[in-house]
Amino acid sequence: MGIELTDRVALVTGGVQGIGLGIAEAFLDAGAKVAISDINGEGLKAKVRELQGRFGENVYGITADCSQEDDIVRMVAEAVGKFGVIDILVNNAGRGGMHYFWEMAAHEWDEVVDLNLRGAFLCTREVTKVMLEKGTKGKIINIASTNAILPTTGIAAYCASKGGLLMFTRVAAQELGPHGINVNAIGPGSTMTPITEGFYNLPIINAGFLERTPMGRFGQPEDIAKAALFLASEYADWVTGQILYVDGGQSLMGLPRYLEGLVQSAGG
C-alpha cells in the first residue's frame, strides 16, 4: 500500500534544505512533479541541479521571498506555467529568532509573522485561485510547530505565528471543503536540520529536550516528510482541518523551562 503521487504537481516553499527538502524529495520519490521555492537563489540552483540528476524535468526551482506578495504571485504563476496545475501546496518557508518580546523592535516581530503566517496566507490564497479555476481537488499542508500550542520563552513571535497558522488552517479547511480541497497542518517537534542542529547539539539543550521526548530522539526531516506524504495522498481524502503532531510525543510533555540564559546570550 505504498503512496504514489504520479502525475501530481506539488509546490513546496522553503525547500532547499531541512524539512522542506525532505518533503520535496519524498514527493519526487512518490512520482510527483515538484516546484521548489526558496529565497536562497544560489543554493536552490545547486540543489535543483542535483535533484534533476535523479528526477529529470520533474523538479523545478523558483527563487522567491515568501514574505513578499509580488514574489508569491510570480512564484505561483511560474509553477503553473511550468507544470500546468498545482495539486499540492506545502507552506514550509519560515523563520524564528530569540528575544524577550518586550525587547523586540516592531520590525523583528513583523519579519517572523510576515513569513510564517502572512506568507502562508498569501501562498494559500494564490494557489487556491488556481485550484478553483481548474477544478482541482487539491491538498494544502501548512508546516506549523509544537510551539503553536507550547509557549516557549524567547520566541513569542514564532509561537504566535504558528498558533495563528493553526487557526488559519482550520478556517481555510471550512471554506475549501465544499470545493473538495483539503487543508491540514503538521506540527513538527524538535527536528534536526542544518539550521537547528547547532542549537540542539548544545549539551544542556540536547539533554533537556530528549528528557521531554518520550520516544527519546530528535526528529529528522524524513519523519515530517512521511506525514506530508500521507496528507498529500488519497489516504487523507477525508482528513481536513487537522494538525498532525510529528514530535515523538514531545507535545505531551511540554518544553524545558530553562531557556532564559540562552535568550540573554542571544542578545534578547
More confident residue, 194 or 70: 70
Look at 27-31, 106-110, 185-189, 201-205 and tell me which has the smallest mean pLDDT.
201-205
Q: Is the pLDDT of residue 259 over 60?
A: no
More confident residue, 196 or 35: 35
Mean pLDDT, rounded, of the chain: 92
Question: Predicted confidence band at 216 (pLDDT cuts at 50, 70, 90)?
Answer: confident
Residues serving a catalytic function are 158
More confident residue, 70 or 208: 70
**Burial class of residue 32 in the structure, from the number of CB atoms within 10 Å of its CB (0-12 exposed, 13-18 middle, 19+ buried):** buried
> What is the predicted pLDDT for the residue at 2?
84
Q: What is the tens place of the pLDDT at every residue in 72-91?
A: 999 999 999 999 999 999 99
> What is the predicted pLDDT for the residue at 112?
97
Q: Is the pLDDT of residue 265 over 70?
A: no
> What is the predicted pLDDT for the residue at 117?
99
Taking the C-alpha atoms of residue 20 and residue 45, their distance in angstroms, rounded to an integer, is 15
The torsion angle over the Cα atoms of residues 196, 192, 189 and 229, rounded to 10 degrees, is: 120
> What is the predicted pLDDT for the residue at 163?
98
Q: Is the pLDDT of residue 266 over 60?
A: no
> What is the predicted pLDDT for the residue at 260?
54
Q: Pairing mode, if any, of strands 88-91 and 9-13?
A: parallel
Q: Domains in the chain, ordered, with CATH?
A: 9-265 (3.40.50.720)
DSSP string, 148-192: GTS--TTBHHHHHHHHHHHHHHHHHHHHHGGGT-EEEEEEE-SB-
Instruction: Count the neighbouring beta carbons within 10 Å of the beta carbon of residue 266.
Output: 14
Look at 61-75, 125-139, 239-253 and tell me which has the smallest mean pLDDT.
239-253
Taking the C-alpha atoms of residue 213 and residue 218, their distance in angstroms, rounded to an integer, is 8
Looking at residues 153-176, what average pLDDT do you find?
96
Q: What is the tens place of the pLDDT at every residue in 178-209?
A: 999 999 999 998 886 777 777 777 777 777 77
